[in-house]
Structure 1
Amino acid sequence: MQRKREQTYLYITAFVSGLVSLGVELSASRLLAPYFGDSHPVWAAIIGLILLYLTAGYFIGGRWADRSPHPATLYSLAAWAGLLVGLVPFISRPVLALSVRGFAGLNLAVLLGPFLAVLLLFSAPVTLMGCVSPFVIRLLMARVEQAGNVAGRTYAISTAGSLLGTLLPVFLLVPTVGTRNTFVALSLLLMAVGMVGLARVAPRRALLHLWMPLLVLLLALTLHGQPIKPAEGVIYETESAYNYIQVVEEDGWRRLYLNEGQGIHSVYRPGQRRVGGTWDYFLIAPFFNPPPFTPDRVRSL
């Protein structure tokens, strides 16, 4: 019975690790969107490097599990991965601020540096999460004859978690609590799994990890209410299901920007109908066409 419970918890660990790894990947795009946009090159860089980190994790995790096939090692690894996930939005904040200068001066070097630096922040947590599945397989392996069944079941459960991790940030977490808190939620979930696992097999080691969630929560509370993307003249900002939205007021004009802000999506000035842009031409379109109907044909509204 005890062995069955241990196996079940190992599968839960694989499931949550898969969930968080894909959740981090989807959330990474929203972390970068206010500064670099949401284009195919950005997505290619995110997906490519996440796959690279997972590849490294699979390789390292297999060797690590053979050298130290202990559940406590796996759960400690999961807790550290969760901590590093939670630190990403806070460490990346000053780094991403540098990219604003790059856009202002159209300096490619200043733009590229923060972009790569932020993506490198994901290397440690994602690599550690890549270690989880090989570790789980090693701990579940009782006989060589079970290798195929154990490996297949572990990767199926992990992939099921990844499916949920793909949907949760996009349809629930980011639109509801924002990108920063999405990272915090994923971090706390993975740390909880790791620390509960440690409490089951090594209670004293679990106590030594209690500072991890406290640190992430403290950082989240410290930056609560802080702007997502600090800039002059910002009077409103939010995150929708699709974009980062920012309204900036300059010299009496209000402009709506999305994501990195390279395009103006709406312009408004109180008391003025014309805005001095291509939008004004839409106002003269009715003068080039006859009315669609005459007043006497209007019977009801």
Structure 2
Amino acid sequence: MQIVLPYLIAGWSGFFVMAVELLGGRLMAPTFGSSIYVWGAIITVFMLALSIGYLAGGRYSMQQPSVRRLGALLIVAAVTVLPILLFGERMLDAVSIAVPDPRFGSLLAAAVLFFVPTVFSGMISPYAVRLLVQDQRSSGRHAGQLYFVSTFGSAAGTLLTSFYFVLILEVNQILVSLLAVSGAIGAAALIFGKRGSERDEVSR
């Protein structure tokens, strides 16, 4: 499980990020429409947040990395989506009043809603790489495998959300489902990660 969980978490994180990004267009459409400005704003915010998350995750991984901490990162990323569920509509209305320009208003709105969850999601892949790499000779192979899993998860999240989920579920229902899966995987990492660390201590 100590090897499987980092791959599972990285793959699900990729799925989660792309699902939320696609749902972002649906969430912002009633207030800002669905023009190229809106999608440009959403993509910009997600890419910038991911880049910061990659940097932060790489640095955080240098401080006693563990599967439990990786699971905690996944849970935090999910929890930071809760304000979108609870206050998303009011937040969008407030931004549209404060910044009526559709370009900068949509950019600010996307940042307010999605920047923090995406930063935490971005921290997961580099952190998982740190857990998997045991020596320099295998570092490239593990990094390649993990980013394959993460990107494959992103593709699956994009396809399933856009082709199926939005046709059978409301946006809030999809978000709640995503949060539930993240919580379950994160809890599994906390439980099995603790068992793994206990076994390591006993073997010493």
**Does the TM-score normalized on the shorter chain lie above 0.5?**
yes
Q: Which amino acid aligns with 1:201?
A: G
Aligned position for 1:189:
181
Q: Which amino acid aligns with 1:173?
A: F
- Shift of residue 71 of structure 1? 1.5
Contact 1:57 1:131 in 2 (8 A): yes
- 1:59–1:131 CA contact under 8 A, matched in 2: yes
CA contact (8 A) 2:32 2:102 kept: no
Deviation at 1:95, TM superposition (A): 1.6
Distance, in Å, in 1 between the alignment partners of 2:97 and 2:128 is 45
Q: Secondary structure at the match of 2:127?
A: helix
Partner SS for 1:108:
coil
Contact 1:58–1:130 (8 Å) recurs in 2? yes
**Residues 78 and 148 of structure 1: CA distance in aligned 2, closer, same or farther (over 3 Å):** same
Higher helix share: 2
Instruction: Report the equivalent of 1:31.
Output: 27
Contact 1:35 1:99 in 2 (8 A): no
Secondary structure at the counterpart of residue 191 of structure 1: helix
1:40 paired residue number: 36
Residue number in structure 2 paired with 1:12: 8
Cα deviations by residue, 1:31-65 (Å, 9 ceiling, x for unpaired): 10111111111101100110000000000000000
CA distance in 1, matches of 2:165, 2:111: 21
Quick check: 189-198 or 107-116, which moved more? 107-116
Structure 1: how far apart are the matches of 2:106 and 2:46?
17
| Aligned counterpart for 1:156 among listed residues 148, 151, 155 | 148
In structure 1, the partner of 2:82 is 86
The gaps in structure 1 that reach 5 residues or longer are: 204-301
SS of equivalent to 1:142? coil
- Whether 1:69 and 2:65 are equivalent positions in the alignment is yes
Q: Does 1:147 align with 2:147?
A: no
Give the aligned CA root-mean-square deviation in angstroms. Answer: 2.2
Alpha-carbon separation, structure 2, partners of 1:110 and 1:163: 29
Q: Tell me the secondary structure at the aligned position of residue 67 of structure 1.
A: coil
Residue type matched to 2:127 in 1? F
- Describe how 1:289-300 pairs up with structure 2 within 5 A: none
Is the 8 Å Cα contact of residues 37 and 106 (structure 2) preserved in structure 1? no
| Conserved 8 A contact 1:14-1:136 | yes
Q: Does 1:58 align with 2:54?
A: yes
The question of 1:167 aligning with 2:159 is answered: yes
1:109-258 alignment to 2 at 5 Å? 116-202=108-194
Give the greater-gyration-radius structure (CA): 1
- What amino acid is aligned across from residue 67 of structure 1 in structure 2? Q
Shift of 1:86: 3.4
Counterpart residue identity of residue 76, structure 1: A
Q: Partners in 1 of 2:110 and 2:46 — Cα distance?
A: 12
Classify the secondary structure of the residue corresponding to 1:202. helix
Letter paired with 2:139 = A
More strand by share: 1
Q: Which 5+ residue runs of structure 2 have no aligned equivalent?
A: 196-204
Query: Hey, what's the Cα distance between the residues in 2 that align with 1:81 and 1:158?
Result: 15
Whether the 8 Å contact between 1:81 and 1:191 is mirrored in structure 2 is no
Structure 1 residues 94 and 115, CA, compared in 2 at 3 Å: closer, same or farther?
A: farther
